[in-house]
A and B are shown apart, each in its own frame.
Chain A
């Protein structure tokens, strides 16, 4: 069954899109990750133009993250003060990012820059996950004698942040005298990535919140979801406004697929051993990084491409 995507300007197999959404949703449910970093490259692989893939993915993330954010808010896991500081950085970054997308599209190198950043990012995440899960597997094989000491994260803000201005207290996170500068800056950096890549950025934000800022894990996750909804809402709005690349129909199909997939993923995660299959996710992520890298270095079959601009088709 074919469906015509109005903004992408192409007809595509409905079940293929739903299937990819479901697969990524399954992995999200299984591993508790957002999945935007898998969804955008997969959309590109099935022929969705890169800018439309990224912008529509941001739209899909708003939907996918909203119900989880709402649930965490009800449970009191959102540090609003911290969230708003990160979000203000995220809005600034997202706005810069959308303008960057516009500029890069204009000169015909958006896809190139996007793929380079993806290769670096997927390579780092995949590599780190791969090493981490290998370690976990080895540890569990030797195990018994000394159970692994899961170190409580020791934030470095004691030394680093004490020198930064704009200090304030964050009651919900149990942080005192913490500078607002780092949260703002990390929000901004992730905001730029969100616009450029069509991701939520939880895989950078949550570790930064836990290990650098020193927030409790559950509050970090709740606060991250809160800021992702609004930061990606900003990116969606600006992409639609500035670049006209948001395909609402594509976003809704992806949402439908990923929601169903996530339910099965969450069920499967109760039965499967997380550490063992985490290596599978690492391999998928690394394989995508390799695929995108190959795209960058192998001579393309088409050396000429049409860029948006006058008369734009």
Chain B
């Protein structure tokens, strides 16, 4: 009797373990969403003004919902100031340290995210602004905290990032076109504010709210030529860069003065 009960318990535990594993399955273990990008490297040169990359892909499960997300691979800690009115003036009155806010965050989907997936899934896969907020941690550095700070900071950050075209969410079939329920194409605009680093484009495929397919592309942005040299020198050898800036200025100033005979001052 005891032995049979124990066997059943062990069997149930094993089944439970298996089910748990299935639920904790990572997106990578899903069916692959095959994608191709027009390029995987963006080079910042003198004439750089942002760039656009087109993506093409194949649904592993036809006629399912598709969501594409662009984020930066690096995670960063940022300092955010909140302006307030002091007398007649608007100035920074408090400052927070914020972690978990992505540097870039763009989402394309054919239908509103809320119609495609549950809140829990959205949070787990970090899809949608509410999920960013869920992962963001704020820590007051300066000033007095007030109850609406979380809202002010979050909404302010979204507005700021959207203005720089670093954040946006487009839930529009025109923006993410699907042909015969299987082939899809879309593009991401990388704004000039998107700096050097690795960027991740993830394609999620949902069937009735369940993740059934996943694919990812890595895009790299790097500075080349004079842009790369100026940036790395100014960041890595700032003293040398300072001396160089002064010497270049004096030489250029004297040179230009000689050309025009009379100084341009």
Interface residues of A (CB under 8 A from B): 1-4, 6-7, 9-11, 25, 28-29, 34, 59-60, 62-71, 107-109, 112, 116, 225, 229, 233, 236-242, 244, 246, 248-249, 251-252, 255-256, 258-263, 266, 296-311, 313
Contact = CB atoms under 8 A, between A and B. Distances in A.
A310 B262 contact: no
A67 B258 contact: yes
Contacts of B254: 66-67, 70
A7 B234 CA distance: 8
Contacts of B265: 28, 34, 64-65, 67-69, 225, 262
A302 B81 CA distance: 11
B176 to A, nearest CB: 27
Contact of B238 (A64, A70, A240, A311): A240
B89 A297 contact: yes
Interface of B: 44-50, 76-85, 88-92, 95, 97, 103, 142, 152-153, 156-157, 159-160, 163, 192-193, 195, 223, 226-227, 230-231, 234-235, 238-239, 241-246, 248-250, 252-254, 256-258, 260, 262-265
Contacts of B88: 296-297
A29 B260 CA distance: 13
Nearest to A266: B262
A6 B223 contact: yes
Contacts of B193: 9-10
Contacts of A305: 80-81, 83, 92, 160
B257 A67 contact: yes
Given A112-B92, A303-B152, A309-B78, 14 more contacts: A4-B47, A63-B248, A65-B263, A67-B257, A67-B263, A107-B81, A225-B265, A236-B242, A241-B238, A244-B235, A248-B234, A304-B157, A307-B81, A310-B76
29 contacts: A4-B49, A7-B234, A11-B48, A64-B253, A64-B265, A66-B249, A67-B253, A70-B254, A71-B263, A112-B89, A229-B250, A236-B245, A237-B245, A240-B238, A244-B235, A246-B241, A246-B245, A248-B234, A248-B248, A302-B163, A304-B83, A304-B160, A305-B81, A305-B160, A311-B76, A311-B77, A311-B78, A313-B103, A313-B195
B81 A304 contact: yes
Contacts of A313: 76, 78, 103, 195
B79 A307 contact: yes
A112 to B, nearest CB: 4
A21 to B, nearest CB: 10
A25 B239 contact: no
Contacts, number: 224
Nearest to A55: B245
Contacts of A258: 264
Given A239-B242, A241-B238, A241-B239, A248 B230 contact: yes
Contacts of B248: 63, 248, 252
Contacts of B80: 304-307
A251 B249 contact: yes
A300 to B, nearest CB: 6
A303 B263 contact: no
Given A4-B46, A225-B265, A236-B242, A108 B152 contact: no
Contacts of B262: 71, 263, 266
A311 B77 CA distance: 6
Nearest to A243: B238
Nearest to A298: B90
A20 to B, nearest CB: 15
Contacts of A309: 78-79, 97
A3 to B, nearest CB: 6
A108 B249 contact: no
B263 A310 contact: no
Contact of A68 (B78, B226, B242, B257): B257
A221 to B, nearest CB: 10
B39 to A, nearest CB: 18
Given A11-B192, A304-B80, A63 B253 contact: yes
B73 to A, nearest CB: 13
A34 B265 CA distance: 6
Nearest to B241: A240
B91 A109 contact: yes
Contacts of B97: 309-310
Contacts of A296: 88-90
A285 B257 CA distance: 27
Nearest to B248: A248
A62 B250 contact: yes
Contacts of A6: 223, 227, 230-231, 234
B83 A303 contact: yes
Nearest to B230: A6
B233 to A, nearest CB: 9
A259 B242 CA distance: 22
